[in-house]
Structure formats: structure tokens, C-alpha cells
């Protein structure tokens, strides 16, 4: 590992200032579960590392007037243990449980996971299925954009060189939305996703009024399967044929690749199976909540 200077800002303004000053030659350190590995195996390391551990503005999970705010420095363990997440977005807990080992979940942050822009990330599909927004801060101020626009390509985000990710917002309208997450890997734990899938649905009476389907590890970025969504929107939530049709359409929207972990053809089969399962589970939850008289999104 090459030598570097270390800066530990205490506020968001200080972090933004340090990033603006050193953006050409620095890296941001959140949980470090990805960065430290990179630093040990790169020949051209950064001159400066900016640690974000002391920046309180990047922490916390809170319900606001506009939705559920999750700080970029919130760890996967904090997601799993949050009563607010359990109440408003429990599918996030299902995704967090699949991330690495307990040590990784204790250190790794949700913001760090998103910023990597690895297509196989586990936190991305659920958040995309819940219409999540992200807040970015830089020398020019703050801006907010949909998470789907944040993912530009493999390991490429919409962040400008002088910007950092501040928080993730699940809009108020999506809180409590019936949702589901599923991950396929080569083993049950500590595995990269071959395919992961998430779905969220809103049901009113005998009609699916809204649906989101998100897929990971099937394209250069996490994607929404909008054509598959259109297949089930407006249909009866008990229509198994519609769900199966949507699963097959989702396959056509993906661009899986062959690699050493799985063939593209095998991934296509997983996309169909995963889409069908998350839709079925989300619709089952929506119907169950409806029968109990609970809001269903």
C-alpha cells in the first residue's frame, strides 16, 4: 500500500471543502470494505484519503415529511436493526442480510455500497424498486436525483469529482409498500449475486395499481424492468399467468453476460425465476395486508 495523507473532517462542509481541494488525487473512506482492498492492490494509490467517520450529517435513519432518510454512512447492520426500516421498508433488511459476513455488515455502509456502482450490489435493487432518491453535495451545493440516474455504468456514478453522497431518501408514498428481495449466489453466504431481484407493488381491491421490478447483475447497472411492470399493472393480484408473463418479459430487458461464475443463459433462467418469485411474494404481502385492513401502498 502506498503512503497517503489522511484527513478526518468533522462536518459535511469540511468534507466538501477537503474534497474540493484534493479531488484530483483523493479517495473517500466510508466503511472501507471495498476501498482498503483496492488500496492494497493498486500501484497508483491516492495522495489523500478523506475519512467520513466523524461527519454526523452522513449518519442516521429518520422519517421526515418527505420520506425515510437514510444517511450514506449508515451500516448494513444498522439497516438490519432499525425499527423504522422494519416498519417502512423491510425488504431492505432482506437485502442487507445477504451482504458479506457479519464483519462486513458491521463496517460497510449503504452509501459505500451504492457508490461502487457494481451491478451485482445487493442494496440497489430494493431501493430502485422503492423509487429511492439520492442527495449529492459538492462545492456547487446540493442536488437530488433518482437512484436510477445515479448509476451510470460499472463502477461509474453520476458523482462529479468534487461531490459526495449524503443520503438516500425513500419517498413518503413508498413507505410501507409491499416489497420483496431475492438473491441468487453460488453459496448461501458471502457470495456475489449471480442475479438479484426486487419488486414492490400497490394493490387496490382486485387491481395492481402500481408495480416496480428491479434487477441486479444482469446489465451494466441495476435496472428497472419497466416493460415487465406494464404486463402486471392493472391486472388482478391473483393472476399467476400475468406474473409468469412479466417474468419472461423481464428476461428480454436484461443484458446478462457470460463470466467465470455463470453463463448468460443461466442468468436468463434466474431472471425469470427471480422476477416471478419476488412479484409473487410482494403481491402476497399486499393481499395479506389488505385483508388485515392495513395500507398497501
pLDDT of res. 93: 98
pLDDT bin (cut points 50, 70, 90) of residue 132 is very high
Task: Give the range among 18-22, 24-28, 220-224 with minimum mean pLDDT.
Answer: 24-28
Domain boundary among 174, 200, 218: 174
Does 186 share its domain with 287?
yes
Does 204 share its domain with 221?
yes
Does 170 share its domain with 185?
no
Give the residue numbers spanning the domain of 206: 178-291
Does 156 share its domain with 203?
no
**297 within domain boundaries:** no
Domain count, the chain: 3
Instruction: Please state the rounded mean pLDDT for residues 135-144.
Output: 97
pLDDT at 48 over 90: yes
Instruction: Please state the rounded mean pLDDT for residues 226-248.
Output: 97
pLDDT bin (cut points 50, 70, 90) of residue 289 is confident
Separation between Cα atoms, residue 286 and residue 201, nearest integer Å: 7
Question: Considering the entire predicted model, what is its pTM?
Answer: 0.94
Domain boundary among 174, 209, 226: 174
**159 within domain boundaries:** yes
Angle between helices 240-253 and 264-291 (to 10 degrees): 140
Helix ranges (H only) for 23-82 are: 35-41, 76-81
Instruction: Please state the rounded mean pLDDT for residues 252-277.
Output: 97
Instruction: Please state the rounded mean pLDDT for residues 209-228.
Output: 98
Name the residue among 151, 122, 152, 287 with its Cα closest to residue 208. Answer: 287
Instruction: Please state the rounded mean pLDDT for residues 204-222.
Output: 96
Amino acid at each position: 500500500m502506498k503512503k497517503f495523507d489522511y484527513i478526518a473532517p468533522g462536518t459535511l462542509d469540511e468534507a466538501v471543502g477537503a474534497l474540493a481541494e484534493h479531488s484530483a488525487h483523493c479517495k473517500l473512506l466510508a466503511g472501507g470494505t471495498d476501498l482498503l482492498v483496492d488500496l492494497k492492490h493498486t500501484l497508483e494509490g491516492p495522495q489523500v484519503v478523506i475519512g467520513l467517520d466523524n461527519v454526523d450529517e452522513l449518519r442516521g435513519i429518520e422519517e421526515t415529511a418527505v420520506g425515510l432518510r437514510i444517511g450514506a454512512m449508515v451500516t448494513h447492520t444498522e439497516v438490519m436493526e432499525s425499527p423504522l426500516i422494519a416498519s417502512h421498508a423491510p425488504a431492505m433488511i432482506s437485502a442487507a442480510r445477504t451482504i458479506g459476513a457479519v464483519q462486513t455488515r458491521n463496517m460497510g455502509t449503504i452509501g459505500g455500497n451504492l457508490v461502487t456502482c457494481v451491478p451485482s450490489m445487493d442494496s440497489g435493487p430494493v431501493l430502485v424498486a422503492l423509487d429511492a432518491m439520492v442527495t449529492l453535495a459538492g462545492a456547487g451545493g446540493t442536488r437530488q436525483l433518482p437512484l436510477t440516474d445515479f448509476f451510470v455504468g460499472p463502477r461509474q456514478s453520476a458523482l462529479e469529482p468534487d461531490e459526495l453522497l449524503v443520503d438516500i431518501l425513500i419517498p413518503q408514498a413508498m413507505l410501507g409498500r409491499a416489497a420483496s428481495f431475492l438473491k441468487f449466489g453460488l453459496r448461501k453466504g458471502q457470495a456475489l449475486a449471480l442475479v438479484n431481484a426486487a419488486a414492490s407493488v400497490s394493490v387496490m381491491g382486485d387491481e395492481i395499481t402500481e408495480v416496480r421490478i428491479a434487477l441486479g447483475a444482469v446489465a451494466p447497472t441495476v435496472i428497472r424492468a419497466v416493460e415487465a411492470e406494464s404486463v402486471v399493472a392493472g391486472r388482478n393480484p391473483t393472476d399467476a399467468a400475468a406474473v409468469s408473463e412479466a417474468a419472461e418479459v423481464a428476461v428480454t430487458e436484461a443484458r446478462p453476460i457470460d463470466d467465470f461464475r455463470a453463463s448468460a443463459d443461466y442468468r436468463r433462467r434466474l431472471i425469470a425465476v427471480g422476477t416471478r418469485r419476488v412479484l409473487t411474494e410482494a403481491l402476497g404481502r399486499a393481499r395479506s395486508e389488505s385483508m388485515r385492513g392495513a395500507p398497501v401502498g
